[in-house]
Amino acid sequence: MSSARAVFRSILPFLIGAPILAALQPVMPPDYTLILVAVGVNVVLAVSLNVVNGFTGQFSLGHAGFMAVGAYTAAKITLALSGVQFGFLPVGLSNQLVFAIALVAAMATAAIAGILVGMPSLRLRGDYLAIVTLGFGEIIRSIIENMKFLGQATGLSGLPARTNLVWVGMSAIATVVMARRLAVSTQGRALFAIREDEVAAEAMGVDTTGYKVRAFVISAAYAGLAGALISHAIFLATPRMFTFIRSIEVVVMVVLGGLGSITGSVVSAIVLTISLELLREFQAYRMVVYAILLIALMLTRPQGIFGTRELWDLPFFRRLIRDRAVAAAGPAGASPVQVRDDSSGPKGVA
């Protein structure tokens, strides 16, 4: 495979996604846009949390804290640069550029927060880790609540409207692509090994602490991205948007979809967000619905809707991929059982 082709393949999902989103954006009514933004943000959150909770098997409850870090970072930047225009660019483009910078900065600061939280807490396991991450999430929130610079409890308002379908859609694609490519790489397998058996992973040369921190940092960065996006969709960043209830919502999405399944996280993020919008009149019962959903799921299907499987593991898609692999490799070359590994199979010939 030539390098130009490799680059093309690596950015292909974005090349497909961008024009579709750009075409959709002007024709979408504003209320639908807001719902879709919420869906996209939740996809980013759920898939990124899945990297820690599903892939690596570490139970984190602090996702909202990293969202807050990202949201406030981006808000501060867009507010500070709201009057600034890059001279060589038209106003609209200049604003988008500022927002892009803000998003990158949001991811960076959230990642730094991820390192600070991850380093001490990832020595713990299971329930202990859950409690500690929950605590850190709340600490981040109460720090913000007490900083004049960040508007204390009232937060930062009057943020410029920068989040649109393209930004959200591309972020969701970026998150899914990241998770998917991670899952079929040697780094991803190291994370799975930690989930399966930490002692054995360590004995097989996997730096378990290092990889746990890495997974945590990656996950935190994307949570920061989600926070930045949502705050620029509702023009507001307040500490109340990032309580631990928000973290739990994301955990519910991940568990519901199936720990370790990217498809599961995406599907349950979409379904839960839209159904919550439909149930808006019954807002008060929201957490009750969540709880009932979870109880029902745990009783009937404790591994989540998808388990650890993906869309492409389902029989229909497996057949599809196999046919493609057989067609590509010729009847002699392909073994019929070689389908699970769709990344390495067709890749060689693509």
Nearest to 38 by CA among 194, 261, 212, 226: 226
Residue (178 or 234) nearer to another protein, CB: 178
- Helices and strands per DSSP (H, E), number in the chain: 13, 2
Q: Which of residues 116, 208, 320, 329 is near another protein by CB under 8 A?
A: 208
| C-alpha span between 276 and 139 (Å, rounded) | 28
The kind and range of the H/E element at 237 are strand 236-237
Strand partners, 236: 157
Task: Kindly state the greatest CA–CA separation across the chain.
Answer: 70
- Rule CB under 8 A: say whether 30 interacts with another protein: no
The angle formed by the CA atoms of residues 261, 263 and 269, to the nearest 5 degrees, is: 105
- Rule CB under 8 A: say whether 200 interacts with another protein: yes
Residue (14 or 235) nearer to another protein, CB: 14
- Rule CB under 8 A: say whether 3 interacts with another protein: yes
- Rule CB under 8 A: say whether 319 interacts with another protein: no
Q: Which of residues 304, 308, 321, 325 is near another protein by CB under 8 A?
A: 308
Q: What are phi and psi of 255, to 5 degrees?
A: -65, -40
Q: Which of residues 33, 35, 143, 202 is near another protein by CB under 8 A?
A: 202
Residue (142 or 185) nearer to another protein, CB: 185
Q: Report DSSP letters for 146-210, one per residue.
A: T-GGGTGGG-EE-------HHHHHHHHHHHHHHHHHHHTSHHHHHHHHHHH-HHHHHHTT--HHH
> Tokens 């378990």 correspond to what residue?
208
Query: What is the nearest approach in angstroms of another protein to the Cβ of residue 192?
Result: 6
- Rule CB under 8 A: say whether 15 interacts with another protein: no
- Rule CB under 8 A: say whether 332 interacts with another protein: no
Residue (240 or 340) nearer to another protein, CB: 340
- Rule CB under 8 A: say whether 168 interacts with another protein: no
Q: Which amino acid is at 96?
A: Q
Sign of the CA dihedral running 182, 184, 190, 193: positive
The answer to whether the beta carbons of residues 240 and 144 sit under 8 Å apart is: no
Q: Which of residues 142, 146, 152, 344 is near another protein by CB under 8 A?
A: 344
- Rule CB under 8 A: say whether 206 interacts with another protein: yes
* DSSP helix/strand/coil, 236: strand
- Rule CB under 8 A: say whether 170 interacts with another protein: no
Per CB under 8 A, contacts with another protein among 90-119 are: none
**What are the residues whose beta carbons fall under 8 Å from the beta carbon of 141, sequence distance 6 or more?**
64, 65, 68, 239, 242, 243
- Rule CB under 8 A: say whether 52 interacts with another protein: no
**Residues that contact another protein, how many (by CB under 8 A):** 39
Query: What is the nearest approach in angstroms of another protein to the Cβ of residue 170?
Result: 15
Strand ranges, E, within 45-159: 156-157
- Rule CB under 8 A: say whether 237 interacts with another protein: no
Half-sphere exposure for 101 (CA within 13 Å, toward CB): 14
Piece in contact with another protein (CB under 8 A), picked from 6-14, 70-78, 106-114, 131-139: 6-14
Q: Which of residues 68, 110, 193, 230 is near another protein by CB under 8 A?
A: 193
Query: What is the nearest approach in angstroms of another protein to the Cβ of residue 5?
Result: 11
Residue (61 or 206) nearer to another protein, CB: 206
- Rule CB under 8 A: say whether 29 interacts with another protein: no
Piece in contact with another protein (CB under 8 A), picked from 147-155, 203-211, 262-270, 324-332: 203-211
**3-state helix, strand and coil shares in percent for the chain, rounded to the nearest 5:** 75, 0, 25
- Rule CB under 8 A: say whether 4 interacts with another protein: no
Which residues would be at the binding site for another protein (CB under 8 A)?
1, 3, 6, 9-10, 177-178, 181-182, 185-190, 192-193, 196-197, 199-208, 214, 218, 308, 337-338, 340-341, 344, 347-348
